[in-house]
Amino acid sequence: MKTVVVYSGGLDSTVLLYHLRHLGHELRALSVDYGQRHRRELAGAEAVCGLLGIEHRIADLRSLRPLLAGSALTDDLPVPDGHYTEQSMRVTVVPNRNMILLAVAIGWAISRECGAVALAAHAGDHAVYPDCRPAFAEAMAQAAALCDWRPIAVLRPFIKMTKADLVRRGAGLGVPFEMTWSCYRGGDLHCGRCGTCVERREAFARAGVPDPTAYAPDAPPMPAVPG
């Protein structure tokens, strides 16, 4: 199957790339530049695609920034410390980001005669983002089946897996985790303190896989993993 992977350069979508490649998909990878603070992930995405010989394109949506104001990911609000699921992470919501991402990815899939787009959505994606809800994804899959004469499938193979499951799967596929970027702050190293960093560290710990990430020297020690 010819498939466009919505590819942020983060851990989850890098595992998705390796997973679908393993299953024999003919892949293209699409990243979106929406002026995000954590632009490091785009360079990582480019490097991983180069390693795998996969066509990689960056959709430049920075021109939409004035329309989609109000998110700490793109504006000058501070990114909060602490766990991802906290109320404070709401400021990181980019309005309608996932619908915009999917719409552009599906447009590229149609123009390149691909039959599917794939998302790395997983069971740990948080309800702080309304467009991470399963019912939203189902409505979009319905729309994707109708937006062109040939239906486009929306694949979410990780939807029942946790992030720790993804780390385990990625380790089995030889994913170069050190090339992936999660931190929502735009530093040279992962801060180890923001929501995505905490989540990343916990996922490695839960998976029992050594975490090769270089965290900032002032990152707090790895907290005890609950459960």
Question: Is 159 a residue that touches a copy of itself (CB under 8 A)?
Answer: no
Phi, psi of 61 (to 5 degrees): -110, 25
Residues from 11 through 30 that contact a copy of itself (CB under 8 A): 30
Residue 152: both structure tokens together = 């486009």
Question: Is 107 a residue that touches a copy of itself (CB under 8 A)?
Answer: yes
Residue 184: both structure tokens together = 């929502």
Question: Is 106 a residue that touches a copy of itself (CB under 8 A)?
Answer: yes
- Considering only 85, 133, 205, 219, the residue that binds a copy of itself (CB under 8 A) is 133
- Considering only 46, 91, 136, 219, the residue that binds a copy of itself (CB under 8 A) is 136
Pick between residue 110 and residue 164 the one whose CB is nearest to a copy of itself.
110
Q: Give DSSP secondary structure letters for 180-200.
A: ----SS-SSSB-S-BHHHHHH
Cα 154 from Cα 4, distance rounded (Å): 10
- Considering only 91, 103, 171, 219, the residue that binds a copy of itself (CB under 8 A) is 103
Cα 86 from Cα 88, distance rounded (Å): 5
Pick between residue 50 and residue 142 the one whose CB is nearest to a copy of itself.
142
Distance in Å, CB of 39 to a copy of itself, minimum: 16
Q: Using CA of residue 175, residue 180, residue 183, residue 189, what is the dihedral sign?
A: positive
- Considering only 23, 26, 55, 142, the residue that binds a copy of itself (CB under 8 A) is 142
Q: Which stretch binds a copy of itself (CB under 8 A): 19-27, 39-47, 133-141, 211-219?
A: 133-141
- Considering only 1, 52, 54, 147, the residue that binds a copy of itself (CB under 8 A) is 147
Question: Is 115 a residue that touches a copy of itself (CB under 8 A)?
Answer: no
Residues from 53 through 92 that contact a copy of itself (CB under 8 A): 57, 59-64, 66-70
Q: Give DSSP secondary structure letters for 121-184.
A: --TT--TTSGGGSHHHHHHHHHHHTTSSSS--EEE-TTTT--HHHHHHHHHHHT--GGG----S
Question: Is 49 a residue that touches a copy of itself (CB under 8 A)?
Answer: no
CA distances, 170 to each of 68, 91, 162 (Å): 33, 30, 12
CA 63 centroid distance within chain: 21
Query: Which chain residues interact with a copy of itself by CB under 8 A?
Result: 30, 57, 59-64, 66-70, 94-100, 102-104, 106-108, 110-111, 130-131, 133, 135-136, 139-140, 142-143, 145-149
